[in-house]
């Protein structure tokens, strides 16, 4: 499988790592750490050196209850970071649900638009269609203020799958090529810990929709609930979740801790390669 982005065709025959760059004062795990452009650019460089296959730059936190930011302020946060990131040799994604920010990001050379609202805002499909960009369509309900009240499902895997299939159809109907579209279950968005775990257990059904699948478990609250760990103590839990996501069909994992995830996936893929070698080896004579 491949994911077509603006400048790069990503080969997904091995799992890929999307490194998170939050240029925000208030993101749930790294708020304020890279909120001036210089620090954020240095972070981009570091993540690429650590082996990130994609950078994902965000200028507004989606943490439950976080304040909304207007398009001009969001753009002001990310513009210089994006301009530097597109020179680093990897595809650059911009995490935004605002059509105005999408347009400006694409004008500035972004390769992917990562939208937690799955291009549902008026004007979002039109902002992306015809630009050759990759898109990531994520499932959520409501907005960060209201989403946890909307965490009510019968069969969470089926409902998320139906939503993602509908949004992929809408994107294709607006002229976005199928090969540009990745899907994301939206772990932690309008979902309880039980929903997140059910979704991960059933994630293969979402991979079967035929689009690249992206999974974002890094440092999320469900991992804190399972382990009792504070947000900066969740690396082992995040690695376990990333590997489970890949084994359940995820092609891209969105993470804060790139170096550790790259190492974990190197071991994972080495075992897969060894399986092929062994299948071709004759049993030794008894
Ligand atoms: N999670 C977050 C933000 N954007 N995009 C996709 N496609 N999938 C995700 O799971 C996802 C996402 C939340 O994490 P983070 O960016 O670390 O925090 P914040 O929203 O507080 O900046």
Pocket-testing residue among 21, 58, 164, ligand 1, by greatest number of atoms within 8 A of Cβ: 58
Say how many Å lie between the CA of residue 103 and the centre of ligand 1: 20
For the chain, the distance separating the N- and C-terminal CA atoms, rounded to the nearest angstrom, is: 41
The pLDDT of residue 198: 98
For the CA of 30, the closest atom of ligand 1 is: 17
Please, are residues 180 and 3 in contact by the beta-carbon 8 Å criterion?
Answer: yes
Known catalytic residue: 220? yes
Burial class (CB within 10 angstroms; exposed 0-12, middle 13-18, buried 19+) of 260: middle
Query: CA nearest 160: which of 195, 125, 110?
Result: 195
Choice among 6, 103, 104, 220 that is catalytic: 220
How confident is the model at residue 213, as a pLDDT?
98
187 lines ligand 1 (CB under 6 A): yes
Give 179's DSSP letter: G
Contact 92, 109 (CB under 8 A): yes
**Does the C-beta of 52 come closer than 6 Å to ligand 1?**
no
Sorted by sequence, the CB contacts under 8 Å of residue 141 that are 6+ apart come out as: 147, 150, 151, 189, 190
For ligand 1, whether the C-beta of 196 sits within 6 Å is no
Per DSSP, helices labelled H in 93-211 are 99-107, 124-128, 156-173, 193-201, 204-207
Q: What is the CA radius of gyration of the chain?
A: 18
Write out the E strands in 143-270: 181-184, 214-215, 252-255
Instruction: Give start and end residues of each alpha helix (H) in 18-123.
Output: 37-49, 71-85, 99-107
List of residues 6+ apart from 272 with CB closer than 8 A: none
Query: pLDDT tens digits for the chain (286 residues)?
Result: 999 999 999 999 999 999 999 999 888 888 777 768 999 999 999 999 999 999 999 999 988 878 899 999 999 999 999 999 999 999 999 999 999 999 999 999 999 999 999 999 999 999 999 999 999 999 999 988 888 889 999 999 999 999 999 999 999 999 999 999 999 999 999 999 999 999 999 999 999 999 999 999 999 999 999 999 999 999 999 999 999 999 999 999 999 999 999 999 999 999 888 876 655 555 665 6
Which is nearest to 147 in space by CA: 193, 191, 197? 191
Q: What is the pLDDT of residue 118?
A: 98
């Amino acid at each position: 499988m491949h994911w077509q982005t603006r400048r790069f065709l990503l080969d997904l025959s091995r799992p890929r790592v999307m490194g998170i760059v939050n240029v925000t004062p208030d993101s749930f795990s790294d708020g304020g750490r890279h909120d001036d452009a210089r620090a954020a650019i240095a972070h981009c460089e570091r993540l690429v050196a650590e082996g990130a296959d994609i950078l994902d730059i965000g200028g507004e936190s989606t943490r439950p209850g976080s304040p909304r930011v207007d398009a001009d302020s969001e753009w002001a946060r990310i513009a210089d970071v994006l301009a530097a990131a597109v020179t680093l040799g990897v595809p650059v994604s911009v995490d935004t649900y605002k059509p105005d920010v999408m347009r400006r990001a694409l004008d500035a050379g972004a390769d992917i638009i990562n939208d937690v609202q799955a291009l549902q805002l008026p004007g979002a499909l039109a902002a992306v269609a015809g630009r050759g960009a990759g898109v990531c369509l994520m499932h959520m309900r409501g907005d960060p203020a209201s989403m946890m009240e909307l965490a009510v499902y019968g069969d969470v895997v089926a409902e998320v799958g139906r939503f993602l299939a509908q949004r992929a159809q809408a994107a294709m109907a607006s002229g976005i090529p199928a090969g540009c579209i990745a899907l994301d279950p939206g772990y932690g968005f309008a979902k309880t810990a039980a929903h997140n775990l059910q979704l991960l257990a059933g994630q293969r059904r979402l991979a079967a929709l035929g689009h690249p699948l992206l999974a974002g478990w890094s440092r999320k609250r469900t991992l804190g609930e399972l382990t009792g760990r504070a947000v900066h103590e969740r690396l082992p839990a995040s690695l376990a979740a990333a590997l489970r996501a890949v084994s359940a069909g995820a092609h891209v994992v969105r993470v804060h801790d790139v170096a550790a995830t790259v190492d974990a996936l190197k071991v994972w893929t080495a075992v897969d390669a060894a399986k092929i070698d062994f299948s071709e080896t004759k049993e030794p004579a008894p």
